[in-house]
Amino acid sequence: MNIFRSVSAHAGLPDLLTTAEFAAALRCAPQTVRKNLSAKGHHHGIKPLKQASGRLLWRASDLMKLLGIETQ
């Protein structure tokens, strides 16, 4: 999945993103996102949803706000 195309077009973008997809959209490593979350409690002001299994899911709407992409 090419996350940059999906974010810019908002076509086919899931409501929730994995840490890897979230990091790819921000052009950083997934470990950087996890490190910032551990150290600061957020990554650029965005907090993920935590599943019972411990998996982190990030809201696509938060990512689009961070990137300055307007949603309709």
Separation between Cα atoms, residue 62 and residue 47, nearest integer Å: 9
Q: CATH number for 3-67: choose from 1.10.1660.10, 3.40.50.2020, 3.40.50.10470, 1.10.287.610.
A: 1.10.1660.10
- pLDDT tens for 14-24 read 799 999 999 99
- pLDDT of res. 46: 97
DSSP characters over 2-67:
-HHHHHHH-SS--SEEEHHHHHHHTTS-HHHHHHHHHHHSSBTTB--EE-TTS-EEEEHHHHHHHH
Domain boundaries, the chain: 3-67
- Indicate whether this model's pTM tops 0.85: no
Separation between Cα atoms, residue 11 and residue 61, nearest integer Å: 13
